[in-house]
Structure 1
Amino acid sequence: MTIARIARCLASVVALAAVFAANPAPAGQESHAALRAEAYEAAQWAIASDAADALARVSARFAQGDDALGRLAEERESLIGRRDRLERELERLYASDDAGALADRARVRTAWEGTVERLRAVDADIEARFPAYSELTSPRALSLAETQALLGPDEGLLLVLVNPEATYVWGLSRDRVEWARAETLGDAAMTEAVKQLRASLTSVGGVRGQAVDPILFAGPQATPFDRATAHRLYTELVRPVEAAFDGKTTLISVVTGALTALPLSVLTTSAPTGSDAAPEALAPTPWLIDRYALATLPSVSSLEALRCHLVADPALRSPGCPPRRGGVARRDRPEGAPLHLVAFGAPLLTGEPRDATRGAPAADDVMRDGRLADVGKLRALPSLPGSKLELETLKTRYPDALVRIGREATERAVRADDADALSRARFVVFSTHGLMAGSAAAEPGLVMTPPDQASEADDGYLSASEAAQLRLDAEFVVLSACNTAASDGRPGGEGLSGLARAFFYAGARSVMVSHWEVSDAATTTLITSAFADLDDNRAGDPGVRARALQAGIRAVRAERRWAHPAYWAAFTLVGEPG
């Protein structure tokens, strides 16, 4: 986070404190409403994230075409990735006592300085030659009126800002605005509540007192899900502003702090009855996902990026979009026939699928020197039979699809051989292991079939920076793997970063990501059911992708053994709900 952004965030906290301290309003209700509207905009500065920046950059690139600007924008992103990798390598070298570290530090420092200098030159070139692009990529806060104009008739938006002393909440629809202050949910209390809930979502293996199904999870018995805490979050964060969503079917959320690590689908809308450990009590529990199809955004301004600039047909822009800015031109569509689906997964791995989850070690564990993966360690990861079934089912559903399974699911195929097909795909699916970012130079990424020998072109690991270089025009990217929602999955870290940010930059309108290790079998049911629902609804219908995820979750929950939310709640739709 830059110093400028930190300053904006601090300013927003001061503004919020001033607004909510003015109660009752000194100049009447109208003045109080104006102050709350100012606070709504101030809150957005505190929520700005790298994922939001990625959406802004790709929307601007899309709006202005793929000529000289496109090349400069791609070079800029590549330089940013290289700068960040070199900074991580420098941190590692400065912490090393190795005798050769001094020489390596000098070499890497020189490379870093050259990269930063080139980045400055590219930024200056873009600013001088394409001022409209710079304007489009400048983060800005939307007013209440601007936000309402961008929402559909069946949509609501929930904005949640977690501050040290309290949490501030806004609920919006086209015709109504509500606000609330959760006094007892400051940052520390929110973090503790989310940690408590995640503890029971990341260690499931069955239901306490019941036999463990060996094809799902192995290991300890499940931790009963704390429905009381989940209901408390609903009553303090959603219910006070829910009047704004009355009659709406889709709810878009923008959250911060620890909430970025918790899917809102696990919030319960009524006080729990019965034992949390009993399947007969869990199964009929009413969840927020029953009430709304859910999607999340990295920022409120992402609505404008998705609905005004990342739209292939200008006629389909939201009626609430601002007028086109000067110098805007449409980019050419990829040549060749469009494809329904391009998918990769079920890599050839030799490990026994003993725990049947799509989890794996942190990326540090499989990276050798921070650049290339250890193909032996990748190959030893557990195989994923459910992933193969998932992709075969999707291939049957879309006969024109390009589906790479097993030996064909390579990094080289993704980045080179099938790059053109990827650029023409409506849906893109990766069904494999996902690795979280490590503490050193390792990036989050997706495991592909390892080659015999690692190279820059193919080391069996599609990292976030490599994914960002793909050219996509996809409505929907599904990362059917574990831990793809955030950089490290920890409450309080920046959410929706890493892989999600990379695929947004590559051109995705929405990305389905997971928050923890997912059951191979349950995920197969969820993904195939979600795509079946997509086919049953018309493309372009409002909320169609959010409803597809909702349908997939219902299909998983239909099986009594999967009543625990660890099986069905891991996935979140980020981006355009449909």
Structure 2
Amino acid sequence: MRRFGRLCAAGLAAAGLLMAAGGAPARPDTPESLRAEAFEAAQWAIASDAADALARVSARFAQGDDALGRLAEEREALIVRRDRLERELERHYASSDPADLAARTRAQSDWEAATARLAALDGEIETRFPAYSDLTSPRALSIAETRQLLRPDEGLLLILVNPEATYVWAVTRERAAWTRSEAMDEARLKVTVDKLRLSLSATAAPRGDDVDPTLFAGRQPVAFDRAESWRLYSELILPVEETFKDKSTLITVTTGALSTLPLSVLVTAPPQGADADPEALAATPWLADRYAMAGLPAVSSLRSLRCYLVASPAMRSAGCPPGLAPASRNEPRVEPLRLAAFGAPLLAGAPSDPTRGAAAADSVMNGQLADVSKLKALPYLRGSRLELETLKARYPDSVVRIGSEATERAVRTADAEALSRARFVVFSTHGLMAGSAAAEPGLVMTPPDQATEADDGYLSASEAAQLRLNAEFVVLSACNTAASDGRPGGEGLSGLARAFFYAGARSVLVSHWEVSDAATTTLITATFADLDGHAVSDPGVRARALQAGQRAVRAERRWAHPAYWAAFTLVGEPG
């Protein structure tokens, strides 16, 4: 990281932002070459499970081999198992209970077996499918390669948070720029993000006659700090915005605490009026007004999405590596399905404070399976039923499972074939965050009478990763589905997002905090209404559909606060 900081400082010096004595550049490198080198160095500094998942599934598609697919899926399952066992071992080592000693020994043995099998699998894949290993090896994209993969209406924004400063690059097909902000170093940026997140969470947000009580019942009022939001925008984005100000779609790659804050909530002009004034809030200009936005786990994900994860070779970007042959997947042609959707599970909890989230997954687990009684006690979601019924009316020939039909068994077995053909996939339910122990993030389905490995009412991330999808758009209409644990500071875009990317999704709609049942129903139905109004091939069609959905929520005066409309972000291909 320190070497990266020196590299960036040298690049800024060459660019004329830090000049040596006499006004001459501090070193002979050109501004363009140093900017390009720093852009690639920034990518090496970013490690993301979601980016890895996209790279691996794109390689699997490119190879088009069923044997490889089976090996890759076993590898993914082993990684999940290894990681779960590591969390178990941490918990057992931290315990002073003698009963944990035997469990620790078993977990250690299982971890060693999983690690050994993983090493053997990697060796087999490298020997039998060398191209797969090449494709999944991390490689940063140059500015020139990035430009070629971008469409004419797109800009890309890369923000790398570093201990001494935050570095920002803006790239379009025509030009590139960068900036450095010492005022937003890692520590100070986290303070700002934490402050903004506080007013976006359901534990502290505004109430009053103009605010929907179904999300924030009984909570203390905390207005959204628009001055802090404006400061974040003016420090990080405004200095490079000239590069992409004429573009309609903005693709973002963020790191650190910033990965837990949707950039759509940034204020693009000095705030007017009081933060708690509904009129001032409704008149506030947001970054979401200027651009349809989509996030990527890494810049290299552009290549995965536009060169390999495409419906046909004709849809590949002109910037893809030359010589890519059509993948021979040895799969029969099937009739596509518009939509496969599941949700509004049958739950016994009173919908008095209906938000699509609950406690961490630990609280509902009983060993390796979910506790059925604890799942059943979660609040029923009226809005989820309305949302799915609206989608069912829009797509009458699709598969929509509501209530008693929305089971884990339906997702994993009975409707697995339909899921593999669906263009759109929707889960509208409670989302649970990963816990401190072995529990994974997941989605709540209608609980069975008795939990089994086939169906315990909880679709975990590892189970979602085993689905076979060919979906353009997966919507996780639930809470806290963007990150592994939902907390600021953790790696963004992992957990469930990573699982669905690995399953084959090209874009995933995820949420960053606990969301209102009613407002989310409006957002999702408006997003699909806009999506249907445009051709599949329209540039940025999914990002623009989300932008329309956010506007539909904000059109309701009681939902002007960004806690209602900004929780969801599109990750992956903008369309």
So what's the TM-score if we normalise by structure 2? 0.96
- More off after superposition, 189-198 vs 210-219: 210-219
| 2:342 aligned partner | 344
**AA matched with 2:398:** A
| 1:176 aligned partner | 175
Query: Take 1:129 and 1:323, find their aligned partners in 2: how far apart are those partners?
Result: 23
State whether residues 61 and 133 of structure 1, in contact with CA within 8 Å, keep that contact through their aligned partners in structure 2. Answer: yes
Query: Take 1:287 and 1:314, find their aligned partners in 2: how far apart are those partners?
Result: 37
Q: 1:20 to 1:27 in 2, by over 3 A?
A: closer
- Superposed, which structure 2 residues align to 1:158-307 within 5 Å? 158-203=157-202, 207-210=206-209, 213-307=212-306
Query: Take 2:550 and 2:210, find their aligned partners in 1: how far apart are those partners?
Result: 23
Q: Deviations over 1:488-543 (max 9, x none)?
A: 22222110010000000000000000000000000000000000000000002110
Q: 1:334 to 1:252 in 2, by over 3 A?
A: farther
Q: 1:108 to 1:551 in 2, by over 3 A?
A: same
Q: Deviations over 1:382-409 (max 9, x none)?
A: 0000000000000000011100111111
State whether residues 360 and 435 of structure 1, in contact with CA within 8 Å, keep that contact through their aligned partners in structure 2. Answer: yes
2:516 corresponds to 1:519: yes
**AA matched with 2:245:** D
| 2:437 aligned partner | 440
Count of residue pairs the alignment pairs up: 568
| 2:570 aligned partner | 573
TM-superposed deviation, 1:34: 1.0
| 2:351 aligned partner | 353
SS at match of 1:407: helix
- Superposed, which structure 2 residues align to 1:418-567 within 5 Å? 418-567=415-564
| 2:130 aligned partner | 131
2:113 corresponds to 1:121: no
Q: Deviations over 1:108-142 (max 9, x none)?
A: 22221111111111100111111110010011100
Query: Take 1:211 and 1:271, find their aligned partners in 2: how far apart are those partners?
Result: 24
SS at match of 1:295: strand
TM-superposed deviation, 1:438: 0.3
- More off after superposition, 548-557 vs 84-93: 84-93
| 2:389 aligned partner | 392
- Superposed, which structure 2 residues align to 1:377-416 within 5 Å? 377-416=374-413
TM-superposed deviation, 1:436: 0.5
SS at match of 1:415: helix
Q: Deviations over 1:23-49 (max 9, x none)?
A: 336378861221111001000011231
| 1:6 aligned partner | none
Q: 1:258 to 1:108 in 2, by over 3 A?
A: same
SS at match of 2:344: strand
**AA matched with 1:19:** G
| 1:375 aligned partner | 372
Q: Deviations over 1:219-261 (max 9, x none)?
A: 2143111000111111111111111113100000001011001
| 1:5 aligned partner | none
| 2:329 aligned partner | 331
SS at match of 1:462: strand
2:140 corresponds to 1:148: no
Q: Note the residue ranges of structure 2 that are not aligned, 5 or more in a row.
A: none
Q: Deviations over 1:152-174 (max 9, x none)?
A: 00000001011111111111110
- Superposed, which structure 2 residues align to 1:30-49 within 5 Å? 31-49=30-48
TM-superposed deviation, 1:78: 1.1
| 2:362 aligned partner | 364
Q: Deviations over 1:299-351 (max 9, x none)?
A: 000000000011121111000111246x8733245653211000000000000
**AA matched with 2:349:** G
SS at match of 1:74: helix
Q: 1:334 to 1:108 in 2, by over 3 A?
A: farther
State whether residues 281 and 561 of structure 2, in contact with CA within 8 Å, keep that contact through their aligned partners in structure 1. Answer: yes
State whether residues 334 and 424 of structure 1, in contact with CA within 8 Å, keep that contact through their aligned partners in structure 2. Answer: no
State whether residues 82 and 115 of structure 2, in contact with CA within 8 Å, keep that contact through their aligned partners in structure 1. Answer: yes
**AA matched with 2:327:** A
Query: Take 2:90 and 2:168, find their aligned partners in 1: how far apart are those partners?
Result: 38
TM-superposed deviation, 1:14: 4.6
SS at match of 2:366: coil
State whether residues 211 and 559 of structure 2, in contact with CA within 8 Å, keep that contact through their aligned partners in structure 1. Answer: no
Query: Take 1:88 and 1:482, find their aligned partners in 2: how far apart are those partners?
Result: 23
Q: 1:335 to 1:453 in 2, by over 3 A?
A: farther
| 1:108 aligned partner | 107
| 1:16 aligned partner | 8
| 2:312 aligned partner | 313
Query: Take 1:122 and 1:319, find their aligned partners in 2: how far apart are those partners?
Result: 34
State whether residues 477 and 508 of structure 1, in contact with CA within 8 Å, keep that contact through their aligned partners in structure 2. Answer: yes
State whether residues 556 and 567 of structure 1, in contact with CA within 8 Å, keep that contact through their aligned partners in structure 2. Answer: yes
SS at match of 2:191: helix
Q: Cα RMSD over matched residues?
A: 1.7
Query: Take 2:41 and 2:204, find their aligned partners in 1: how far apart are those partners?
Result: 43
Query: Take 2:2 and 2:329, find their aligned partners in 1: how far apart are those partners?
Result: 39
Q: Deviations over 1:85-119 (max 9, x none)?
A: 12122222222333332222222222211111111
Query: Take 2:29 and 2:90, find their aligned partners in 1: how far apart are those partners?
Result: 53
- Superposed, which structure 2 residues align to 1:86-105 within 5 Å? 86-105=85-104
